Structure 1
Amino acid sequence: MKIALLGYGKMGQVIERIALERGHEIVLKKDEHNTYEGLSNADVAIDFSIPTAAVNNISICFQSNVPVISGTTGWLEHYDEMVALCKEKNGAFISSSNFSLGVNIFFELNEYLAKMMSKLDSYSIDMEEIHHTQKLDAPSGTAISLAKGVIENSQYTNWTLNKPNTNEIHIEAKRIGTVPGTHTVAYNSVVDSIEIKHTAHSREGFALGAVIAAEWIVGKQGVFSMKDVLDLK
């Protein structure tokens, strides 16, 4: 499989190594210093760029008939626009806040727990995410996905970084050292607490999941999610 890497920072370099180990070829390493030359030769593109570049990267892939795996966060106000373009061009697209296989299992656990806890008024919810100091967006896309998973399965209607109102989920975003990513969902009452937590030990889990998603999407048309890739639906 021929892969175009859109974004060649630390994540892009880990993705490159894992892709090569799995027998794939890198035909483009796109950063701010070069062009999209080589994209037309790719079977799939993997976008781990920056929020200001993601929409253009994804659009050019659809225009070039190249499927896109996007792990960039902080641009999702344009998500519906990209979905519409994907459908117009008969493209293939997966955008995820987190491609880690473990995190996507964690997403499922979070939704299941939220359904059970929605019946118990004595518990309140708090979320915490911790990332390295170079992360540009806060809260993380993964934390937002976790909050949306709770909102879709409970009486909560919104999330906030500030002091929460009734029916709001408080997310505490911390930036510490080189932490790859830690996410905690906690339900607290006066008598006890219930907590689920995912701790990433390196970027490799995110990179491996992105490469697996890229392998899965080749030859398909439509807008998909990691639930499709992992057959979790």
Structure 2
Amino acid sequence: MNIALLGYGKMGKTIETIGINRGHHIVLKYDGGAENFNLENCDVAIDFSLPTAAVNNISTCLKAGVPVISGTTGWLKDYDKIVALCKENKGTFLYASNFSLGVNIFFKLNATLAKLMSKLEQYKANITETHHTQKRDAPSGTAITLAEGLIENSDYSSWTLDSPKAKQLGIEAKRIDDVPGTHEVVYKSQEDSIQITHTAHSRQGFALGAVIAAEFVHDKKGIFTMKDVLNIS
């Protein structure tokens, strides 16, 4: 495949290395500075840019008929707008808050555990996410996805970064140097605790998942998630 990288920071560079190692060609490395970019000869685009740039990047790809996947977080207020644009242009789009294959299995595990715990009122749930100090958004998109999966399968009504009130799920966001990403979901009662944890050791897992997702969508039409890529819908 010929891949366009929209965003050429640490993640973009890691994706470049993995993409080349898997036999692909990087034909565009766009890191802002101009409103438009040339998608000629691009089979698929991978967006790991900034929240302020993601909507324009994704829209440009969809209008040009280039399948696009995005791992940029912080822009999801416009997600429905992008979905509508994708359908209007009969395009291809996949968004994931986290492309790690392990994290997406973790999402499934989280939802299953939430169903099991939903009838045990003595347990209170909490999510903690820890990332490097350069991460711009808090909580992480991954933590939000975990919270949404837990809420969907329990009596919790919403999540909060503040002290949780009744029916609110608490999320704690920590920022520590050189931590690629750790997410914990804990159920605690007076008697005991149940905890599931995913720990990323490097950016490699995120980048590999992004390339695999690009391989999955490049010859398809529609709106997809990592559940489709991993066949765990």
Alignment map for 1:38-49 (pairs within 5 Å): 38-49=38-49
Alignment map for 1:1-233 (pairs within 5 Å): 1-33=1-33, 36-233=36-233
Distance 1:180 1:196 in 2: 18
Residues 146-192 of structure 1 show CA distances to partners (whole Å, capped at 9, x for unaligned) of 00000110101100000001111100000000100000000000000
Deviation of the 1:32 alpha carbon: 1.9
Distance 1:210 1:172 in 2: 26
Deviation of the 1:36 alpha carbon: 4.6
Distance 2:147 2:184 in 1: 11
Distance 1:81 1:152 in 2: 23
Q: Write the letter of the residue equivalent to 1:30.
A: Y
SS at match of 2:184: strand
- Taking structure 2 as the reference length, the TM-score comes to 0.98
Residues 187-225 of structure 1 show CA distances to partners (whole Å, capped at 9, x for unaligned) of 000000000000000000000000000000011111010
Distance 2:102 2:16 in 1: 20
Deviation of the 1:35 alpha carbon: 6.4
Q: Which runs of 5+ in 2 are unaligned?
A: none
Distance 2:85 2:34 in 1: 25
Distance 2:204 2:118 in 1: 34
Deviation of the 1:38 alpha carbon: 3.8
Matched-pair identity in %: 65
Distance 1:211 1:8 in 2: 15
Deviation of the 1:119 alpha carbon: 0.6
SS at match of 1:185: strand
SS at match of 2:54: helix
Deviation of the 1:115 alpha carbon: 0.2
Distance 1:208 1:219 in 2: 19
SS at match of 1:146: helix
- Taking structure 1 as the reference length, the TM-score comes to 0.98
Contact 1:11 1:207 (8 Å CA) reproduced:
yes
SS at match of 2:164: coil
Deviation of the 1:34 alpha carbon: 5.1
Residues 56-93 of structure 1 show CA distances to partners (whole Å, capped at 9, x for unaligned) of 00000001100011000000000000000000000011
Deviation of the 1:40 alpha carbon: 2.4
Contact 1:27 1:38 (8 Å CA) reproduced:
no
The number of equivalent residue pairs is: 233
Distance 1:142 1:128 in 2: 11
